[in-house]
Structure 1
Amino acid sequence: MNSELPPRFAPLPVRLSPCLGESTNSYIRRLARANHLQPSFLHCYLCGPPQWFGRPLLEHLATTAGHSPEALEQALVDANSLGGTNRPRRRLPRRNPFAWRQDLAHRIAQEALKGTQIRTLAKRHNLRCWDVRLALEVPRLTTAETSQLTDPITGELADLVEGMIGRKLNGRQIWTELMDHHDYLVTYDSIRHYIRYTRPLSRPKGSGPGSVL
């Protein structure tokens, strides 16, 4: 009798290929809905305790999606910020070549999301393939290295979050509702940062950071 437990992660019935330049959150959301799952459930399942709202291991996401880690790393714009075993840190240039051409980097990212391949983009914009890959990561670049930055919560998204705070939802509940029922892709850290530091000074009394996290 085989007493071994089955592996925790197994490929989902419906497989989806990631779009070039897509974010991890976007891919998890599409993968979940294709398999009739709540996106927040799949995200937390992939992360596991204690970091339910963090970032999944690349290997776990790859196994569940039915693709190789290498395939996801080539496509997902923030794959190098995911955890993993024995994954070398991606080397980046000291200077960001798109520092003064953010519009070009944004245009390349939009074309990549439509399915345009890296070689085609490089030829179209007279760039090296490496430069195209770097353009897909520009929104995540800091002065020294690539890391996950907090996405700003402004405009309509801020109004939406304020409405949830008014309904007495805490940070985790806000993240879950945004993940499952809205088209905004916001990290839990971004929500916490907004509640703690960047909410308007005119917020109602009794809605301080400690009451909703």
Structure 2
Amino acid sequence: MTETLPEQLARLPVQVSLRLGEGTDSFIRRLAQANHLKPSYLRGCLVGPPDYGRGKRPRAERLAAVTGRRQEVLERVLADLVRQKRARPAPDKPKRRVTASADKPALFAAIRRDVQAGEQSVRKLAARHCVSPYMVRQALASPTPPPRKERAAIQGRAKGRVGSAIDVILDEYAATHAGQLPTVGLVWERLLDEHDASVSYGTVHRYMSSHPLRNPDTLTRNPERSAGNYLAAIQQTFHANVLQHYQVLLTAVRREPARHGLDGSFSSMTAFLLGLDAGSSWSMLTGFQEWLVVRLGRGHDLTWPLLVRHLTPGGWTHLLTKQADAAAVITLHRLLRDFFTLRERPDGLARIFLDYQSWMITQDWYQLEAAETAHGN
């Protein structure tokens, strides 16, 4: 394509106002909605060939063509339309090196030799060996390097903001496509079009690459954790790794129900879960009914399959249509995931029953039964 292509783009009939400092994706989303276009479609047009959108930055000249505004105005108003160049460090400033653990004993020995030779300034020692003053002080304190500290996994703000939305998209797609998973591009487009999310293609790709639906083995990577209180130790009669095994199995069933002899309906999935629960001496779903009652706010006299039906979007329906059945299956798997996440905590089961007890004592029927019992005694 030639460079004159932006001039061939038609100006959109409806324009939106500019907001100083607004992100490019946010502006494109407002512009698309005002013209009854999908944000992902308009963004792809603004990126242009050969990529058309996914993971690429919209081109300023194409955005200027469809808005009728000058390119320099858009670049000045939209915060991230033009990639900012990073400032290069001064050429005379030495770069600090990253020292591997295996090289630290030799480094510490060299620093200590310099001190014995008469050098006492921590700043000069740090500049000579291209390390931080903190590492110089470590070398002076002991010839043996301390072990590296374990760092917690970093979770970006975008991942925490759109993670639940991605889970919903994966659940709905798997339930309606025989356990198949959508592509990263499809999930990214749905986030833009249906959830008004400004998220990079790379963030969606990283989230999905480690998602249990795509890699069920990730559910078993956590080390076994023992119960942290007496109630949990009494109620949870099988180890955490067994609970994780059931999660892996349920994930596989959700992806490919036919391979496990199921037709994917809510009734077949309920029967399958009841069988698994019976095989675990009724320990797998311990606390599930109580947990659902607290979420629903009623229904202490209902079984968990009925509670799930009440928690399905749209509420209880007497006859399950095909659409309502699919929604019930999606809700069941989502509730099971949240329930197992809580159960894996050391005090998870104890917290479930404490919450259930706190809910019960606020109910009128419980107060009446307690009063009748006290009067009878």
Q: TM-score if structure 2 supplies the norm length?
A: 0.33
In structure 1, the residue matched to 2:162 is 157
Name the residue aligned to 2:75: 73
Deviations 1:43-70 (A, max 9, x none): 1111123212122211101111111111
Equivalent of 1:181, from 188, 194, 218? 194
How far did 1:155 drift?
Answer: 3.5
Bigger relative contact order, structure 1 or 2, given CA contacts below 8 A and separation 6+?
1
AA partner of residue 157 (structure 1): V
Contact preservation (8 Å) 1:40, 1:179: yes
Q: 1:92 offset after TM fit, Å?
A: 4.8
- With over 3 angstroms needed to count, the CA separation of the structure-2 counterparts of 1:16 and 1:46, relative to structure 1, is same
Could you tell me which residue of structure 2 aligns to residue 104 of structure 1?
A: none
**Any conservation in 2 of the 1:153–1:194 contact (CA below 8 Å)?**
no
Q: CA deviation at 1:18?
A: 2.2
More helix by share: 2
Q: Are 1:18 and 2:1 matched, yes or no?
A: no
| Aligned pairs (5 A) from 1:118-197 | 152-155=157-160, 157-166=162-171, 167=173, 168-196=181-209
Structure 2: runs of 5 or more not aligned: 90-155, 174-180, 213-217, 220-247, 256-377
Q: How does 1:86-97 map to 2 (within 5 A)?
A: 92=87
User: Does the 8 Å contact 1:152/1:190 carry over to 2?
Assistant: no
Q: How many residues align?
A: 140
Which secondary structure state, in structure 2, belongs to the residue aligned with residue 63 of structure 1? helix
TM-align CA RMSD: 3.0
Q: Deviations over 1:44-100 (max 9, x none)?
A: 11112321212221110111111111111111111222xxxxxxx657586xxxxxx
Return the alpha-carbon distance in structure 1 between the equivalents of residues 75 and 164 of structure 2: 34
The structural deviation recorded for 1:23 is 0.8
What's the counterpart of residue 60 of structure 1?
Answer: 62
Q: What displacement does 1:21 show?
A: 1.1
Q: CA deviation at 1:10?
A: 2.3
Residue deviations 1:176-199 (CA, integer Å, cap 9, x gap): 111111122112222112223x54
What is the identity, as a one-letter code, of the residue corresponding to 1:176? E
The answer as to whether partners of 1:19 and 1:76 remain within 8 angstroms in 2 is yes
Tell me the secondary structure at the aligned position of residue 33 of structure 1.
helix
Give the distance between the partners of 1:154 and 1:187, measured in 2 at CA.
10
1:114-167 Cα shifts (integer Å, max 9, x gaps): xxxxxxxxxxxxxxxxxxxxxxxxxxxxxxxxxxxxx64434521221222232
Identity percentage of aligned residues: 36
For residues 86 and 202 of structure 2, what CA distance do their matches in structure 1 show? 25
Name the aligned partner's letter for residue 74 of structure 1.
Answer: R
Gaps (5+ residues) in structure 1? 82-88, 95-150, 208-213
Larger-Rg structure: 2
- Quick one: which amino acid aligns to residue 190 of structure 1? T
SS in 2 for 1:80: coil
Task: Tell me the distance in 1 between the aligned counterparts of 2:12 and 2:167.
Answer: 35
Instruction: For 2:41 and 2:204, locate their aligned partners in 1 and report how far apart those are by CA, in whole Å.
Output: 18
| Partner SS for 1:157 | helix
TM-score, normalised relative to structure 1: 0.56
